[in-house]
A and B are shown apart, each in its own frame.
Chain A
Amino acid sequence: MEIAASRMTDQAFPIMNADILAEEHARLHARPVDRKTVGSPFVKNPRMTCRNVDVFYGEKQAINKVSIDVGQNQVLAMIGPSGCGKSTFLRCLNRMNDTVSSCRVEGKVCLDGIDIYGPAIDVVPLRARVGMVFQKPNPFPKSIYDNVAYGPRIHGLTRDKNELDEIVQTSLVKAGLWEEVKDRLREPGTGLSGGQQQRLCIARAIAVSPEVILMDEPCSALDPIATARVEELIAELRAQYAIVIVTHAMQQASRVSQRTAYFHLGDLIEVGPTEKIFTNPGHKLTEDYITGRFG
C-alpha cells in the first residue's frame, strides 16, 4: 500500500525534487491530527445512522470512528482512494462483513433506530431490508425470472404464483429491464449483456422491497452506455429508496448523488452536499483527491 501510494505520488509529481517529494508524502500519509469530520454527517430524517463505527480485520483497524447518516430518498456517494475503507464501511451496513471471520465491528449502526449489531438481530431479514448490488454483475446461473423471484421466494413474500409474477414484473420494470427481457424470462440471466446483468441484479435486490440499497462500484465493469443506463436508474430509484453508492468515478458521484462522503485511510474526512464537496471542499485531502492530485 505504502509503496503503491508513493509510486502514484511519483507519477503525480514527476518534476519534484526529492525533499519536496518526501515532505508531500509525509503530509499525505499522516493521519490527520484532527479526526473531526469536516461538514455535517447528519441529516434530518435518517434511514440509517452510524455512530463511531470501528472495523478491525484481526489486529488491523480498517475503519476509524466513522459517524454518518443515510438519508431517505437520497443518494449518498462514498469516494476515496483505493484501500480507504469505503467498501468495508458499505459492507457494515448490511453485515456482509460477517462472512469474514476475522472481521470485528464496533460502534452503532442503526436501521430506523434499531442497532443492527444488537444481540437479537437476525441478518436474514436485515439483508432483505438493506439490499446490495455488487461491483461485478453476479446473476445466479438461473433464468431471469428465477433470479428476480429468488428473494421473494426464500422470504415467503408471496402467497401464489400470480403475486410472484407481479413482483418479478414490477421489479424488472423498476430496474428498467422489463421491455428488454419480457419475452425471454425463462432464459438464463447469465446470457444478458453486462449492463443488463447489472440491472437484473438491481431488480433482484428491489424484489424483496428493501428500504436501503447499497451499491459497491456498480458500474466499474460496464461500458459507458451501460453505465449511463444504470446511473439513470439510480436517479429514478431515489424516489423510493435510500441509496448508498461506492464509486471510483468522481464524475459519477457528482452526477448521481446528493451527498458525498470522502474517506481516507479509514477516516471519514469530509461529508456534505455533493455540490459543495466538488466545488468547495473543506479539507485539503478532499481537494487533492477531487482535483486529481492523487487517487
Chain B
Amino acid sequence: MKASHLLVAGSLSLFMVSPAFAARDYISIVGSSTVYPFATVVAEKYGKTSSTKTPKIESTGSGGGFKLFCGGVGVDHPDITNSSRAIKDSEIKTCADNGVKEIVEVKIGYDGIAVANAKTAPQFKLSRKDLFLALAKEVPDPKDPAKLIANPYKTWKDVNPELPANTIEVLGPPPTSGTRDAFVELVMETGADTLEAMKALKKADKKAHTKATQTVREDGAYIEAGENDNLIVQKLQSNPNALGIFGFSFLDQNGDKVQGSSIEGKLPTYDAIADGSYPVSRPLFFYVKKAHVEVIPGMKGYLAEFASEKAWGKEGYLADKGLIAMPDAERKEMAESVADLKVMEGK
C-alpha cells in the first residue's frame, strides 16, 4: 500500500506547488485578431530594445478581449485589450462593475476591408449596393420591391448589367470574425440603405430590416472560409471566378497574386483608406487599464513605443505591416492623450 500512497501524495504535492503568483513582470495583452499583427510588431520591437520582457499578446477577438479585460483589476487580468471597434457601453458598465473604472482609449489607425480577386481575372468595379444584392439572404423582389424574396441572383450580371456574367462566388470570414462584423456594418447595411424598398422597411419594421441587412446568403454563393485569410488568398488564386473578403494587410502582402476591387469607384489603396475616400474602412483601438500602468513593469514604455512616429506614423513600421495611419493632427492629439493617460469619459 505504501508505494501507492507515495505516488498519490507525490502527485498531490505537485498540484500544491502553486504559490500565489503575486508579481507579473510582463505585460499581458488580449483582444482583436485584426489588431494582433500590429500590436505584436510593437511588442516585439519594444521587447528587443528595452530591458523589460516582451509583452504577451493573445488573439481572442475584440469581444473576448473586453470580457477578459473587464474581469477586474490585478495581475490575473490583462493590462491592455486590442479592439477592431470602439468599446460598447455595456462593456464599460461591466468594467466599472468589476472595478475597472479608469480606461484609456487609444485609436491606432485604420484598417480597410478589401474585396479582391485573382490577378489573372479582370478587376471588378463594385458598389456597396451590388454587394448587398449579391450577398444578402433576402432581397427586395425586383417586380414588387415591397416584398422580400430569397436572393434570386446567380451571376454578377444579374445584379448589375455592367458586371461580368460570372457566377456569384464570394469567400469570406465566418460570423465569429471582426472582419465579418465590419463588412456587414460597412457594406451590407449601407448598401441596403441605397435601396428605396429597404429604406421603407427600416421605417416600417426595424427588426425585419436589421435581419434582412445582416443575414448573408446560405445557398453557396457566400463561402465561409474560416478565420485564416491566407487560405482565402490561396483559394482565389486557384479559382479566378471567385471574390474574397479580407483585411487590407493581406492585400498589401499579396499584391502580386490578388487585386482589390474598386468600391464606389475607389480602389483599396493605402492613401484611399487613409483619407477616408475608400468606403470600407474602420478605426482600430486598444484600451489600457490605468490602474496597471504603475504596477506592471514596461507599461509606459510600451505605450510610448506604440504612440511613436516610427511605429504608427505614416512612414512607421506599422504602415509597412498594412496599418493605415491616422491623419497628422489626429495622431498628434492621440499621442498626447497617451502620454497623459487621459481617461475615457463615460459615454
Q: Do chains A and B touch in the complex (CB under 8 A)?
A: no
Which positions in A face B, CB cutoff 8 Å? none
Which positions in B face A, CB cutoff 8 Å? none
